[in-house]
């Protein structure tokens, strides 16, 4: 458990509740989907999350006062980890919670003997890109037209780091 009053928002606000990471369960999916749908124009479906749980991907939630406030999905195999999804509820953005979640995933991947971590991020997602670059990720490629847009497609940056 970590106390959120260690975190301050960019506007000086401080958080004063505890949170912790735990494994995601089927019972969390309603909360996870609510955050996912508010956060993305093209959200993952419930079936995608169910499949991730079914095949034992590394799925976590961040919880505060028994309420899911964020989640992450990652695979670890053959010395590599791949972050598939990481999202924080809008009410907690800007407090370093995403950075804390990313650090949790890095530690977890190392504990499972991963040597490298990979992810894709929308080329337009400057906040996420800044987070990843400041967390020792580097751009290693690009996937043209990877993400859907209302009118077309958007490139993904492929980011990686050595663990």
Dmax of the chain from CA atoms?
A: 43
In the annotation, is 146 catalytic?
no
Is residue 38 within 8 A of residue 90, CB to CB? The reply is yes
Within 8 A by CB and 6+ apart from 34, the residues are none
The total number of residues shown for the chain amounts to 163
Helix (H) or strand (E) holding 72, with range, is strand 67-77
In the annotation, is 26 catalytic?
no
Select which of 120, 146, 147, 154 is catalytic.
120
Select which of 40, 132, 139, 147 is catalytic.
132
- Residue 55 φ/ψ, nearest 5 degrees: -90, 10
Quick one: which of 33, 103, 45 has its CA closest to 71? 33
Q: What is the DSSP letter of 162?
A: E
Q: In a 3-state reduction of DSSP, which class is residue 83? A: strand
The distance from CA 42 to its chain's CA centroid, rounded to whole angstroms, is: 16
Residues marked active site are found at 120, 132
């Amino acid at each position: 458990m970590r106390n959120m009053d260690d975190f301050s928002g960019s506007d000086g606000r401080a958080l004063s509740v505890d949170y912790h990471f735990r494994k995601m369960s089927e019972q969390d999916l309603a909360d996870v989907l609510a955050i996912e749908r508010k956060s993305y124009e093209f959200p993952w479906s419930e079936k995608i999350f169910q499949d991730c749980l079914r095949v034992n991907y590394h799925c976590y939630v961040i919880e505060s006062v028994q309420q899911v406030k964020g989640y992450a999905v990652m695979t670890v195999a053959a010395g590599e980890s791949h972050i598939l999804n990481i999202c924080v509820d809008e009410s907690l953005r800007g407090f370093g919670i995403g950075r804390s979640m990313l650090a949790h995933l890095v530690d977890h991947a190392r504990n499972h003997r991963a040597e490298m971590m990979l992810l894709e991020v929308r080329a337009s997602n400057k906040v996420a890109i800044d987070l990843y670059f400041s967390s020792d990720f580097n751009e290693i490629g690009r996937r043209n037209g990877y993400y859907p847009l209302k009118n077309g497609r958007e490139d993904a940056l492929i980011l990686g780091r050595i663990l």
